[in-house]
Chains A and B, each alone.
Chain A
Amino acid sequence: MSTPRAAVVGAVAATCMALAGPAQAQLPSYGVGRPPTPEEIRAWDIAVGPDGAELPPGEGTAVSGKPVYDAKCAACHGATGREGPQDVLVGGQGSLATAKPLKTIGSYWPYATTVYDYIYRAMPFTQPESLTAAEVYGVTAYLLYLNGIIGERDVIDRRTLPQVKMPNRHGFVPDPRPEKFPR
C-alpha cells in the first residue's frame, strides 16, 4: 500500500496550496468540507496493510516484548497467551481441519502486519493506542515467538514484519456463494 500513501502526500501538498485561496471547500458541488492537514492524517492513519508500508520506525524482539506482555497483556490473555480468559493468542497449529479448531495468531492469522495493526489500535483493551512503536514491535515479536513462528532474538521492524511467513498465509479462499445445495 505504498501507492495510497504517496497519493495522500501528493494530494495533501496540492490542497495545502489551495488553502492560500479564499475558497477552501473541498466538495466542489456543495461547497462544504476542508482539506485535512498532514498532522490530522498522520494522527488518524494508523492502519497497517499487508505490505507494511505504513509501519512506523522502531523495532523489537521477543526478548524486549516479554516484559511488556507480562505487564500489560497477561492478565487478560494468560501467562503464555494460551490461558485466557480473553482470546487465546497462542497455539492451535494443525487444529483447523479438526473437530476442535483453535483459531489464534499462530494457527489462523494470514498476515503478521495485522498483529501490529490490531495491537496498536485496540490493545491493551482499556488503554488503546497507548503503546510506543517499540513496545508494539516487541509484543508482536513475542507473540510470534510464542507461536513458534520466529526466533527469540529475531528483530521485528517495518522491513522484517511484512516478510514473516504466517503458517496460515494461504488458508483463505474467496466467497463462492450462492452455493448449490444438493436437493
Chain B
Amino acid sequence: MSESKTIDARNTFCPGPLMELITYMKQANVGDTLELLSTDQGSAADVPEWVNKVGHEIVSNEKRGDVWYITVRKTK
C-alpha cells in the first residue's frame, strides 16, 4: 500500500529542503507521496527541476503564506 509522509524542512539552512527530500525519497517505496514544506526560495525552483530530471512526479506545488508545499510521487 502506498503511503504519504510530510517532511517539515521549514526554517532550516542545512541540510536544506532538497537534501531532505532526496533522503526521504531513498527510503520511500514506488507509489508513495511525500509532501515537502519549505521556506527556502531556492528550493521552489530546485525541487521541481530535480524531480523532473530524475523522472519522479510533481503532484502539486503551491505557496501559502511564506511556505511552499510541494507534493512529489516516487515513480521508480
Whether both chains belong to one complex is answered with no
Residues of A within 8 A of B (CB): none
Give the interface of B toward A (CB within 8 A). none
